[in-house]
Amino acid sequence: MSVLHAFERTVVSQIIRAGLPAASQDRAGLVYHRQLLSKDAQMALLSDVCALVALCPLFQPLMPRTGKPFSVAMTNCGPLGWVSDKAGYRYQPLHPVTGAPWAAMPPSLLALWREVSGYGADPEACLINMYAADAKMGSHQDRDESDFDAPVVSISLGDAATFHVGGLKRTDPKVRFRLESGDVIVLGGASRLAFHGIDRLHGGTSPLDLAGFDPGCRRINLTLRRVTKAHPLTEGRP
């Protein structure tokens, strides 16, 4: 049996399991925690994100080499932030426009990571992607980290979006599902390096008012990442 076949089965079975109120985490693959965040928790997280953006403004990343702008605007929080420009993709400790360190990761995000990541050290970066109505995210792997043992934890706020996830090759078959505001995905284990992306947004479906964040903003995605290898003796948690 191919790796892809096993991977797809994992994804589909996890999606089915996620129909349960509190999906349990399973490091073997992708775990879809449907509606993990209540409306109150979503609003609290949105206000944390608004405060962060006031300190660390959104910037327009550019594709490596071509310099073509992404359709999403970005910022980060935590000790490291993911940036992309003509020189390439990388993590760095300073905002590419202001030159200031990224703002600290809010306690709400650290708590969420500790609850769902199944990983013994805290995340070092939270990439914040801001989608306008027509924005999308092409199929990609998250592979700029040195530690693939840690999952990537993804939180959606705002309009629903069609998410796709495939296998380890760009051309592998994909499954698609709808990410709603308050949904959390953990991409770990066999699916850590799976290709994934956002096909489109479903306008007018947001339970939250994102206008305070940015007038054109329709969806926010936060991805928590461990970037460097953890040192369990100093960073491990009981």
| Residues in contact with ligand MD6 by the rule CB under 6 A | 129, 137, 142, 152, 154, 156, 163, 185, 187, 196, 198, 221, 223
Nearer to ligand MD6, 7 or 163 (CB): 163
- Min CB(153)–ligand MD6 separation in Å: 7
Name the H helices within the chain. 3-17, 39-55, 107-116, 232-235
Q: Judge residue 63's burial from the number of C-beta atoms within 10 Å of its C-beta, 0-12 exposed, 13-18 middle, 19 or more buried.
A: middle
| Token pair listed for 75 | 């910022």
Nearer to ligand MD6, 56 or 160 (CB): 160
Question: Judged by CB under 5 A, does residue 142 bind Fe ion?
Answer: yes
Q: Which of 118-127 are b and which e, b meaning 16 or more Cβ less than 10 Å from the residue's Cβ? A: bbebbbbbbb
221 is in the binding site of which of ligand MD6, Fe ion, none (Cβ under 5 to 8 A by kind)? ligand MD6
Nearer to ligand MD6, 101 or 114 (CB): 114
- Min CB(164)–ligand MD6 separation in Å: 10
Element (H, E) at 187: strand 184-187
Residue nearest to Fe ion (CB): 142
Q: Which amino acid is at 62?
A: L
Nearer to ligand MD6, 137 or 227 (CB): 137
CB distance 18 to 163 below 8 Å: no
- Min CB(7)–ligand MD6 separation in Å: 15
185 is in the binding site of which of Fe ion, ligand MD6, none (Cβ under 5 to 8 A by kind)? ligand MD6
Contacts by 54-62 with C-beta closer than 8 Å and gap 24+?
A: 55/100, 55/103, 56/81, 56/95, 56/98, 56/100, 56/102, 56/103, 57/95, 57/97, 57/98, 58/130, 58/214, 59/83, 59/95, 59/96, 59/97, 61/85, 62/86
Question: Judged by CB under 5 A, does residue 145 bind Fe ion?
Answer: no
154 is in the binding site of which of Fe ion, ligand MD6, none (Cβ under 5 to 8 A by kind)? ligand MD6
Question: Judged by CB under 5 A, does residue 48 bind Fe ion?
Answer: no
- Min CB(238)–ligand MD6 separation in Å: 27
Site for Fe ion, rule CB under 5 A: 142
